A and B are shown apart, each in its own frame.
Chain A
Amino acid sequence: MTSVKRNNPLTDFTNIPRPTVDPKRPRFGGGSVNQRNKPSSFEEDLGRLTQEIEGLQGSAEHDQKWARPALEQFDPSTTPVVFQQIEAEESMYSGASVIRLFGVTEKGHSVLCNMTGFCHYFYVPAPMGFTREDLGILEAYFRVNFPTAVRDLELVLRQSIWGYSGDSKSPFIKIVAQDPKHINRIRGAFERGELHCERGDLNNERFFPFPIQTFDNIPYVLRALVDCHMSGMSWVTLPAGRYRLIPESLKVSSCQLEVSIPYEDLISHPSEGEWLKMAPLRILSFDIECAGRKGVFPEPEMDPIIQIANVVSRHGDPKPFVRNVFTLDTCSQIVGSQIIENMNEKDLLTRWRDFVREVDPDVIIGYNFVNFDLPYLLDRAKVLKLSDFPYFGRLANVRQEMKDSTFSSKAYGTRESKVINIEGRLQFDLLQLIQRDFKLRSYTLNSVSTEFLNEQKEDVHHSIITDLQNGTPESRRRLAVYCLKDAYLPMRLMEKLMSLINYTEMARVTGVPFSFLLSRGQQIKVVSQLFRKAFELDIVIPNLKQEGSSDEQYEGATVIEPLRGYYDVPIATLDFSSLYPSIMMAHNLCYTTLLSRQHIEIQKLQKDVDYILTPNGDCFVKPHKRKGVLPVILEELLSARKRAKADLKKETDPFKRAMLDGRQLALKVSANSVYGFTGATIGKLPCLAISSSVTAYGRQMIEKTKEQVENVFTVANGYSHDAQVIYGDTDSVMIKFGPDNLQECMRLGQIGADAVSQIFVKPIKLEFEKVYYPYLLINKKRYAGMYWTTPDKPDKMDTKGIETVRRDNCRLVQNVIETVLKMILHDRDVDGAQEFVKKIISDLLQNKIDMSLLVITKALSKSDYAAKQAHVELAERMRKRDAGSAPTLGDRVAYVIIRGAKNDKNYERSEDPLYVLDNNLPIDTKYYLDNQLANPLQRIFEPILGARKAQLLLTGEHTRTISVAAPSVGGLMKFAVKTEVCMGCRTPLTGVYAKGALCKNCMPRAPELYQKQLETVNQSETKFARLWTQCQRCQGSLHQDVICTSKDCAIFYMRKKSQKDIADATYQLARFDNTAW
């Protein structure tokens, strides 16, 4: 008898009195009696528990501590205040404009700091002959025509960022506004030429007779941050004695500390070294549940909020310190979580608001809470006439209001969303973030958590929610658990994706406030960096009228025409690292170095000595004349990235590692976005001379690389093969060196990279990174291969542009494509892959593919689709069938394509998978073959087999056998009489055999046919058991029925189908019981 390994054999015994004389208790591995005189685990456990229990005052479930740690008394004249600012906004304080900073100290106290005295300004070029004395005239003019708008005028020397015109600076008038809100009025007057201020000389000439370009147009907040060298999410110190504490009675916020300080006195720390840390930010994640009516998506006018679940954690702590659910009506306890029962909805909302105020979160997160939960709360409060509800920001008297906003960005597309002001609290919607940063098949919380947390989430349809609410305290508890999970998941997603850290680093690197990152596009980040650099160098930036259209195109990157095919030899890949940034650095491409022909002539500059001519035909001065601002910014970003990466290698603390990794990523993204900024035609400062030159260089470099590689690596030069560039795109080239030896190819790749790098200007560098072997080149931007970085073993299978994640594909396509690629590339078994495809197609046509693999899902968004769409049509038909269960706006509609009449359109043949199962409707397998599988398969196999053979895959012998399910509704079925047929030969059974399974002739085959049917039963029994037990596991309860209806879950339809399959199979088996054998 082998005994079981146990961690601590002493734990085997407990000395609690037992009723029996010989308490022989089952222990695995046979508990030995000798162990009795050792201290028992019970005693140990007791000791530990005693301490813990004594530490517990009351039950923590009822007494989770919400409030922040109390602020201790301190002396402002000797104690500095140090905090991490998380939000900066424009505000008023004692009648003047100030920048309001919200932040948190290292000890977790909340701070509101009014940064006073900073005035907004802009520049206009001084007119010819404008003198200091003239300032007085202008000032007087403003006093009269723009009373109290202008605070100060200054004559300064600045340089415009646009174009090189020597090093000399020219005079600009700096116009400082009294109040930032006046600034646009004054600026407008300049830009429209409306200033009638006369020079006071004899001609009564005006200073500004024509419209004039102004300089430096950025938001007040950003201006202040730039001038104070403060970046988003950075730390600041208010030195002792320099700030003023605002007395309790005058406080406008719920912050523990409210202070004011002149902006010159505030010390801003660059986010480096010790200032890389994070304050213990309080993060609230919440989720609401509403009781909808059958068939209608919940509407705040009608449907009450019944639960709000909250999870609050401190950044850096492993576990949340508050877990609670506010419920309507009674609700049973949830272990470790506080249940706050409310007897009416008004109380529920009010107490939740009080909770938010007390717990005072710095960051509010959730999943789609910006567009659903928060608006619903506000609307609902309005309906309930709870006028004091929408006050849960940090500013006690500021009401939370909702606005619609449309966010449009080239990179992220156009999105409509709600904007709700919650002063002092950052809003971080994980849905928005994930939509921005990841391309996924589906963005439901369920599929996102499957993707990132590898966890299925139970999905309770909103029509069931009402039933649960109207049930018992237990059923409401079930709902509460579900709600709590929905509140907890965003928290876990955020941790897993390190979003807060990465976005914090992005804010620090680019200098913009955190809230800009989600609410604004890419440009603001570059703008911020540009202004920061310009501020240092006395450079001013023109306020360009946003004109031109987004249609204006310039030639993009080049693609070397792919030599399509399946390569069973190593293909080396050479990449230009940070291609576009390095081009800009290498050739000194910038606004400040851009030369006009005119200037070349005036300054008598010499080509290639003083300036260069880009392949695009633009001229830029060389760095010895003047170093461009953009190259400097890029150099700083890239060297900062290098530093961060080096630090990352040394760092062992996981938290700091995460910060550093987030930082290097942010730096990389920032560097790459500079090029895009210059090319954004409807942007802040587009300069196609730069962006077109960059891409032109890029194209040239790819061509040169190809040429160089194919010239150097030749048989003539002593190499074993002539190398061939089979494909190149933007910043990489794929080279077939020839040898089938991986190591040799890697060596050649390295030599090639070094050799080609030589011909380019530094810092452009061609790097050898990886080898694909084998490599399947399907088309431009579509390829796949095994990815090797060391000759020992492949790192992964890499695919580009192969549509496995496209949402309008059914899962079968994804599975088949992935398997085929794996067989071709990983196993190098092209024949096997073909056989596999044949088998799948044959199974498909014979109806053997599980229907859940054929389900296509699409979200039902707006109801006014112009073109008829399958899922919209289906939703309409389902509504007619049963309004209660039909999908509503926002739901995902799942459908399969069924066989229809000959001329039916596809959209007419979409059907609800459940309906298909119930009624045995025949699937249009041909549709799936032709419209779903054919193209992707063709694409993969064509380069390998050639068009004709690839076609054969889809039409060969294996496609001859077809079976179609006989529908149990509609058409002739109403008139049909069901007759059983013999399971051996399919003859209809009559007479004594009618109720059995077999006809007389097939009787001798009874054991065989019986066992065959048995096999079917067993397979479906196993499937039934595995699926339903899996759902039990996923829902986290054995004792409750599964109610999840997640259409995104692979199991959902399979589960339903297995119920039907097993019933059918068992019925067929039962026929043998009635057989006279």
Chain B
Amino acid sequence: MNIMAPVASSSTLDIDYLLCDPKEDETFPTFERRASSRELISKYNDEFVLKNTEKTYEQQYASLYFLRLTVLKPRVSKVAAEAWNGMSILNQEVKAVDRVLDVRQGEFCWIVGTVYIEMTLKPNILDEITKEFWTTAPISKDKFADPENDAIMLEDESGRVNLVGSTIKSELLVTGCVVAVLGSETTSGDFDVVDIRFPQLAPQLPRKMSTGHERKYVALVSGLEVSGDVHESYETSMLFEYLMGELGGSDDSKHASEIIHVIVAGNSFSNRRSPLSRDDESPDNFQKKKKKYGYDSSSYNSKPTEALDCLLADLSASVSVDIMPGDQDPTNYSYPQQPINAALVPRSRRFLGSSFRSVSNPCWWDIEGLRILGTGGQPIDDIFKYIEGDDRLQMMETCLRWQHCAPTAPDTLWSYPFRDCDPFILNETPHLFFAGNQPEFKTKIIVGEDGQRVRLVAVPKFSETGKVVLVDVDSLAAEVVTFALNGTGRD
């Protein structure tokens, strides 16, 4: 894959130079993208990919929670035991109690279980269908947490217990995470928590540092929202030209050539209605439209799909690309999202098996030894709704410490009722953990107890920020390239 670009001394190009004919002897340097390994980690990803024919819906969600607790309980118990065993309070040795309901009043102990938070504001489908049609205006709230009234509980298969105390109130917790708590049962039957432990970061594979001096980047972009309209965003064109090395001067081209892989992390299509919207049913909306009874073929808009297909096909000819679905994309809505059907992108499909892949959300990669876990952003967006605060990197970090990348599934993040596994459990800590479609670019490195180092990246929506994130495969450094037109008011 060669990228041709005119030689220029700097990225500020001389207008006159551009306007004159090329000189006879003028040479153009060639930047070549290095071939690189970019595997999908199938032992994890295979669990995310579900065949339509194999999906069943007779089962309920209880098994998912059961499996989650079964896997995570020993892990968090280990952390808890190290912290608390041998400790004594009031001359009474703290002991582990295996089941939540075996807790006895008057003794200090620690227990492990799944957190459940009862929230009065949590959207409740029962309320929506039993109250009259008209009170079901789509919920516009973006936060459902109400610390005054929310009740935090810990449960296992034996039962649940209400957690109280200031420690628990100040802790970041969501329904579905597995934790250990130390405390004692009060007279009222609540469990007063004095300390809490998470499973902490899972083991991490050592990173192979490359010997060469070349830089290698993975590009992360999300929220392209390609519309296929005549007025397709100029920034989008610039982005694709850049990734293909056609934009800017040779410095830019060189930089672009160091991108060894592009991950398109969700919401690449625009105009797709979210399945949650109740537009059809809300009386306010249907009366505005002229009602057509029966089938209406005009509702389908093929432009976004076609336009994106063209862009991806072009890009795939130059660099390897993975496309991951987001909540607006044409695949199933519930988590994990299945790879977008390649049939929708007939041009790009030709690169299947070489430089184009359609992957699940979430997805695991191993790129030149860099282990990457990425999501389209839904787990973080969902957690955001049920806690106070808006530090998304903190949420991502905490997910890693819970060893679970989508704890709120299935309670509020709708998901497939898994029977045999909880694929969202993290058995290893990635080197790079990203979440797509976040409101703004954020990044940091976190370090675990056992020296695990993880680069966290909140990938912003391209359609709103014009930003793409480049992560250096070797140094884990993250940088941002912004595409903007002068005068559009963007930076």
* Chain A interface residues (CB < 8 Å from chain B): 1-8, 11-12, 14, 16-20, 22-30, 41-42, 44-46, 48-50, 52-53, 55-56, 58-61, 319, 332-337, 450, 456, 474, 477, 481, 815-816, 818-819, 822-823, 829, 831-832, 835-836, 838-839, 842, 957-958, 960-961, 1006-1008, 1010-1012, 1014-1015, 1017-1019, 1021-1022, 1024-1030, 1032-1034, 1036-1042, 1049-1051, 1054, 1059, 1062-1063, 1066-1067, 1069-1070, 1072-1073, 1075, 1077
Contact = CB atoms under 8 A, between A and B. Distances in A.
B341 interface: yes
Given A815-B133, A957-B293, A1041-B62, A333 B102 contact: yes
Contacts of B17: none
B327 to A, nearest CB: 10
A942 to B, nearest CB: 21
A842 B172 contact: no
Interface stretch (B6-14, B79-87, B425-433, B476-484): B79-87
Contact of B166 (A45, A49, A52, A58): A45
A1021 B62 contact: no
Contacts of A1012: 300
A1066 B55 contact: yes
Contact of B341 (A7, A839, A1032, A1072): A1072
Given A24-B446, A958-B293, 17 more contacts: A4-B387, A49-B194, A55-B187, A56-B187, A336-B190, A819-B283, A835-B283, A1014-B332, A1015-B275, A1022-B414, A1025-B410, A1038-B114, A1039-B114, A1040-B62, A1066-B57, A1067-B53, A1077-B343
B170 A7 contact: yes
Given A7-B170, A11-B167, A59 B104 contact: yes
A45 B61 contact: no
Contacts of B414: 1021-1022, 1024-1026, 1029
B391 A3 contact: yes
Given A29-B389, A29-B391, A1072-B341, A16 B133 contact: no
Given A818-B132, A1025-B414, A836 B159 contact: no
B172 A26 contact: yes
Nearest to A1062: B57
A9 to B, nearest CB: 8
Given A1021-B332, A1073-B52, A1073-B53, A7 B169 contact: yes
Given A2-B391, A59-B104, A1030-B126, A1041 B60 contact: yes
Contacts of B84: 16
A842 B186 CA distance: 58
28 contacts: A2-B389, A19-B449, A20-B449, A27-B170, A41-B166, A41-B167, A45-B166, A46-B89, A49-B194, A332-B101, A816-B133, A819-B283, A822-B134, A958-B291, A961-B294, A1008-B302, A1018-B333, A1029-B410, A1029-B411, A1032-B411, A1038-B65, A1039-B157, A1040-B157, A1042-B60, A1050-B126, A1054-B129, A1066-B55, A1073-B53
Given A7-B166, A832-B287, A1070-B52, A1028 B60 contact: yes
Which of B122, B155, B284, B334 has the most C-beta atoms of chain A within 10 angstroms of its own C-beta?
B334
B389 A4 contact: yes
Nearest to A1043: B60
Given A7-B170, A11-B169, A1014-B331, A1007 B302 contact: yes
Contacts of B57: 1024, 1059, 1062-1063, 1066
A963 to B, nearest CB: 10
Interface string B306-327: 0000000000000000000000
A335 B101 contact: yes
Contact of B101 (A18, A477, A1007): A477
B267 interface: no
B125 interface: yes
Interface in B321-350: 330-334, 341, 343-344
Given A14-B194, A1039-B62, A1033 B118 contact: yes
Interface residues of chain A: helix, strand, loop or mixed (majority): helix
B158 A58 contact: no
Given A53-B90, A61-B105, A335 B61 contact: no
A49 B184 contact: yes
A1010 B344 contact: yes
Nearest to B90: A50
Interface string B152-184: 000111111110011101111000100000111
A1018 B52 contact: no
Interface in B105-147: 105-106, 114, 116, 118, 122, 124-126, 129-130, 132-134, 147
A1008 B303 CA distance: 11
A28 B126 contact: no
A48 B116 CA distance: 25
B28 interface: no
Contacts of A1019: 275
Which of B52, B103, B184 has the most C-beta atoms of chain A within 10 angstroms of its own C-beta?
B52
B485 interface: no
3 nearest CB pairs, A to B: A336-B189, A4-B389, A1025-B414
Nearest to A339: B101
B475 interface: no
Contacts of B104: 59, 61
A1037 B160 contact: yes
Contacts of B133: 815-816, 818-819
B390 interface: yes
B293 A11 contact: no
Given A332-B101, A1038-B411, A1021 B389 contact: no
Interface stretch (B37-45, B251-259, B368-376, B394-402): B394-402
Contacts of B191: 335
Contacts of B132: 815, 818-819, 822
A55 B105 CA distance: 11
A363 B140 CA distance: 47
A52 B334 contact: no
B474 interface: no
A355 B411 CA distance: 41
Contacts of A1030: 124-126
Contacts of A23: 449
B333 A1021 contact: yes
A984 to B, nearest CB: 9
A838 B389 CA distance: 45
Nearest to B148: A7
B199 to A, nearest CB: 11
Given A42-B194, A1015-B275, A1010 B341 contact: yes
Nearest to A456: B126
B293 A842 contact: yes
A1014 B274 CA distance: 12
Given A336-B189, A1018-B275, A1028-B60, A961 B293 contact: yes
B336 to A, nearest CB: 12
A27 B84 CA distance: 19
A917 to B, nearest CB: 13
Which of A6, A8, A450, A1007 has the most C-beta atoms of chain B within 10 angstroms of its own C-beta?
A1007
Contacts of B101: 332-335, 477
B305 interface: yes
Contact of A1008 (B55, B61, B106, B300): B300
B266 interface: no
Which of A25, A27, A822 has the most C-beta atoms of chain B within 10 angstroms of its own C-beta?
A25
A1050 B287 contact: no
Contacts of B411: 1029, 1032-1033, 1038
B106 A53 contact: yes
Contacts of A456: 126
Contacts of B105: 56, 59-61
B211 interface: no
Contact of B276 (A49, A336, A1022, A1051): A1022
B234 interface: no
Contacts of B149: none
B283 A836 contact: yes
